[in-house]
Amino acid sequence: MKTRKIGKTDIHVSEVAFGCASIGSLYREVDEAEAQAVLQTAWDAGIRYFDTAPHYGRGLSESRLGRFLKGRTGHVLSSKVGRVLSPAKSPISEVDGFVNPEQNDVHYDYSGDGIEESFEQSCERLGQSRIDILFVHDIGTYTHGEGNAAHMDAFFSSGYERLVRLKESGRIGAFGLGVNECQVCLDVMDHGPIDVILLAGRLTLLDRSAEPELVPRCLAEGTSLVLGGIFNSGILATGPVAGATYDYGPAPKDVLDRVAELQARAARFDVPLATAALHFALRQPATASILLGTAKPSSLTRNLTAIEQGLPTGADEILA
């Protein structure tokens, strides 16, 4: 599998990454055998970039990924900071869409001390002393609403500088943001340089809101993009069917109509909508890698096959 460089660093990632939210039992319980099987499928396919987070199953995803990577070399690993875990005060059966997570409570902390505590916890769960890429997770109004101002103050007052120090010490190789919105990326880039942004759902065949400002800024400053949510939480994989989801909720009519148009355009070239979505994400000029996340080996293999087969001659207009 081809690799691409992260920002101005010496880190090179496989152009397809495996996103590990699913192996934290997202939306359904995934047992250890299933988790290890899909990770092995990713590895066998040549994927060498794996992304996880404390948020995914309250530490479950990190622990499972750590067990899988033990003894392996030649991979790139990213995790996230901003959430600090602690032993749960009462039993948790489901939280934030994760079923039977690890029994941990969580609080947000984007200060330097909070970021370092979250980082050290992740290192322990992953069985690593170093993490290649560290993303500041879900900072911004999309997650925090009016409460985000206090989180930004904490991050700008000490969190950003702590990431710089972790990079200078070699504990991390690169840092940036892992978010679902564009404006907070621009705000942080105004404060100081970042190596990479994991942007979910805002540079897709359907939602191109990153194109006017964020993409040109990334290209100008040498900041890479890792694209997540390339199916916009489902609808670009399923098409405009009954019950289709967009942005983690039921798709509104205007979105269903727009997706129907995209599907019809792709159908003229006999290209599945999901295949078009995959190639759109891969061809964006600032993209270092695209995330595929699933607990099913068959789904992962199907998407990798669609990438490998490419688009038929003349079909590039689907992506315009």
Can you tell me the mean pLDDT for 253-264? Answer: 97
Quick one: pLDDT at residue 92?
Answer: 98
Q: Token pair for residue 5?
A: 């460089």
CATH number for the domain including 305?
3.20.20.100
Distance CA(40)–CA(200), nearest Å, equals 24
Report the chain's mean pLDDT, rounded to a whole number: 97
**Residue 89 annotated to the active site:** no
Tell me the residue range of the domain where 149 lies.
3-319
Q: Say which residue the tokens 């040498």 belong to.
A: 222
pLDDT band at 190 (very low <50, low <70, confident <90, very high): very high
Summarised one tens digit per residue, pLDDT across range 149-169 is 999 999 999 999 999 999 999
Q: Give mean pLDDT, residues 202-224.
A: 98
Question: 56 catalytic, yes or no?
Answer: yes
Catalytic residue among 2, 10, 56, 257: 56
61 and 21 Cβ atoms separated by less than 8 Å = yes
Specify the pLDDT at position 206.
Answer: 98
Task: Please compute the mean of the pLDDT values over residues 48-73 and round it to a whole number.
Answer: 98
DSSP 159: I
CA distance 123 to 125: 6
Residue 223: its pLDDT value, please?
Answer: 98
Confidence of residue 293 (pLDDT cuts 50, 70, 90): very high
Question: How far apart are the C-alpha atoms of 138 and 96, rounded to whole Å?
Answer: 13
How far, in Å, CA of 288 to CA of 223, rounded? 10
The reported pLDDT for the residue numbered 79 is 98
Q: Which pLDDT score is estimated for 192?
A: 98
Domains of the chain: total: 1
Q: Which of 80, 109, 110, 142 is catalytic?
A: 80
**Using one digit for the tens of pLDDT, what is the confidence trace for 225-257?**
999 999 999 999 999 999 999 999 999 999 999
40: which residues sit within 8 A by CB, 6+ positions away? 68
- Phi first, then psi: give them for residue 177, nearest 5 degrees: -115, 145
**Separation CA 256–CA 243 (nearest Å):** 10
Percentage of residues of the chain with pLDDT beyond 70 = 100
The pTM assigned to this predicted structure is 0.97
In this prediction, residue 294 has a pLDDT band, given cuts at 50, 70 and 90, of: very high
> What is the distance between the alpha carbons of residues 84 and 151, in angstroms, rounded to a whole number?
14
Q: Which of 5, 10, 27, 51 is catalytic?
A: 51
Neighbours of 299 (CB within 10 A): 16
Active site includes 253? no
Give the number of residues written for the chain: 320
**95-114: average pLDDT:** 98
pLDDT of residue 212: 98
Distance of CA 29 to the CA centre of its chain: 20
Confidence band of 308 (pLDDT split at 50, 70, 90): very high
